Structure 1
């Protein structure tokens, strides 16, 4: 039986519903993050702006997205997970619709800010719902389906926008209106379905009487922030996973951003072949997410995390050596850009294992912040290194950072993985 078949095998109705709805939300939110790249040139011409200005609009979205991770985590953990999910889809969809009707570039920036405000809530609301809707024995598979759906979301906008624009009389604005309107409908369906068909034990946060009383006495926003920071620092394993997510995303985004340049300028491949290798890495990565979920549930997170980044390290170093044949380099590029996906369900299951039931949303927000910081750092840091030292040195440096990932995993699992601790004690 395939990993996917095991992942979607016989499960309770409530589990299937939550996994399906949350995965659908993941598709939509990831679509919102990559709406601009397929039509950057068109947008620049329509609004008479530069690519740098469009980059600024995307930067506004990323900043707002990062800033609101922890507030959404607090909302999901202490107030209402369904509300967090509804706000996530509602605000993000409104942002897309604002851009669809934007008369000026200032409205585009405002729309991107709204998208960031919405998308910020998807991980903090998704993971608590998934964790409580699935038994521990199949939780990594649920996380892997969620991750697979996110990869589909990244892949969908170029195809969908191109198809809409190809229809007579329609433009990118119609495509954005279709996507944003679909997101609003999905948000409404998610909220109604969860309210009507999902047990309160899944959709409501876990709070004991002491926590509730403590929150009720805190009125100052500053005090709430201080309590949130104190709670985060009291979970060193989660802080460590957030640091690991930062370093790992720096590696993977570095490969994704510059592997086409490496294949064309370093190995002499044509741009079509190089871009095909990049696209293939996303497709293969989606499959690896499902495989990683199956392996994590069958074994445990530690070996999957270590094995995944050992593979990434090997393939990146091979690419950086500049001695392998060009076609082999294309294959290695696919694997270097996708092998890290094996680790995603293992990372998420370890985070879930280290979380008390009342802080799952905030803990996944911490990890998401790490991912976003790594994504932000990778392009400028490795781009500057390419200008300074060249492609070979840069990819060897990315490989060295991948080695750091393996070392961090070793420290994390030896100190914080409950399964490892039990095995050592035995």
Structure 2
């Protein structure tokens, strides 16, 4: 009966939910790059090393990861909408704090606040999508969700670098805060479309306790996949601009636009990946593994030093396309591993692996960067991505067998 009701949902209603959730997701990804994009400025202004900058991002993602694992329980208990609203307001406030930072300590406070604001979006988003979007359209919903996230990443370099060049970096953070506030007001206006039902733990099928899902091995395999695959993404976001400048002596603007091209290619990949996920939902783990393998090989080629500047920038952008195609199948893979009634908790825990990967990677590869091992940084990221391939296939085996 539920399936029939969902199938009868008008496309316009599903599209409205997908669009609003996608906008919120874009704002989350936008927040990921607010600090690393200003690394060259922070080096000049505050005299910071790459290791110190990497630790700044580790603070962001440690706070986000701890918050994300907890946010899933809050979402299941109180609903997704109020949590989403609170997160957007915290992000807006964090940008204002960043704009007034006078030292490394001030940047640290801003990083922690940005991490707190970012933490809830995955459990919030997937709870809304799984409750509000009809099942036959979930593959497309996951595709749009991933696409808008990558568009948020792609918009950040253009917005932050553009505004800081026109005015200064402090004005850029004020502008970012106004963006978050504007998104909050729009979602508040359309609040009925994203209203969800709270899920009490007693209602979770096959679960007598709210933490019972932690005993399911496949949940931890999913966590491991996100941790490893995200470590590679963190290298691209945090250090790709500096690597391109150091290895190939390209301009800051050209290197930054390469990062934007990577994110746009990933967004295009997400669009294609939505059709792939809808066409082969049962092979989601194999789709993910194939895409990550191609991306790892391309990234290793960039790190080898065999290519000139232009070829390296093109191939690095193409890496985003390969990863993007696997995105919707990745979300479908997680959905298949999620027990009924525990969406917020499972997505919160699994996607906290993303934050752990983002937190670990800058600490490890920041040391590489400080030693001038620029090519090795990309090669190391490629090796970690290859490790995630085996984990994705492990998720598929354990989902199939129970």
* TM tier relative to shorter chain: 0.7 to 0.9
Alpha-carbon distance, 1:318 to partner = 3.5
User: Hey, what's the Cα distance between the residues in 2 that align with 1:371 and 1:315?
Assistant: 22
1:294 corresponds in structure 2 to: 275
Equivalent runs, 1:23-172 vs 2, <5 Å: 23-40=22-39, 49-51=46-48, 58-100=57-99, 109-164=108-163, 171-172=168-169
Correspondence 1:363 to 2:346: yes
Deviations 1:140-199 (A, max 9, x none): 2212212222222223234334554566xx6544443343234234224324523x345x
1:180 corresponds in structure 2 to: 177
Change (3 A) 1:55 1:326: closer
Runs of at least 5 residues in structure 2 that lack an aligned partner in the other structure: 1-8
Change (3 A) 1:357 1:183: farther
The counterpart of 1:381, out of the listed 359, 364, 381, is 364
Correspondence 1:408 to 2:388: no
Asked if structure 1 preserves the Cα contact closer than 8 Å seen for 2:250 and 2:309, the reply is: no
Asked if structure 2 preserves the Cα contact closer than 8 Å seen for 1:256 and 1:337, the reply is: no
2:15 corresponds in structure 1 to: 16
Alpha-carbon distance, 1:19 to partner = 1.3
SS in structure 2 at match of 1:68:
helix
Alpha-carbon distance, 1:359 to partner = 1.6
SS in structure 1 at match of 2:190:
helix
TM-score by length of 1: 0.77
Change (3 A) 1:331 1:41: closer
Alpha-carbon distance, 1:245 to partner = 0.9
2:199 corresponds in structure 1 to: 206
Change (3 A) 1:322 1:110: closer
TM-score by length of 2: 0.81
Change (3 A) 1:312 1:166: closer
| Matched positions, count | 388
Deviations 1:209-235 (A, max 9, x none): 5569x99xxxxxxxxxxx65x434223
Change (3 A) 1:358 1:78: farther
Between 1 and 2, higher relative CO (CA 8 Å, sep ≥ 6) is seen in: 2
Deviations 1:244-265 (A, max 9, x none): 1111112333455555666666
Q: Which deviates further from its counterpart, 316-325 or 285-294?
A: 316-325
Runs of at least 5 residues in structure 1 that lack an aligned partner in the other structure: 1-9, 216-226
Alpha-carbon distance, 1:35 to partner = 2.3
Deviations 1:252-286 (A, max 9, x none): 334555556666666x5745766554442222111
User: Hey, what's the Cα distance between the residues in 1 that align with 2:357 and 2:114?
Assistant: 20
Alpha-carbon distance, 1:110 to partner = 3.7
Asked if structure 2 preserves the Cα contact closer than 8 Å seen for 1:35 and 1:157, the reply is: yes
Larger Rg: 1
Asked if structure 1 preserves the Cα contact closer than 8 Å seen for 2:54 and 2:366, the reply is: no
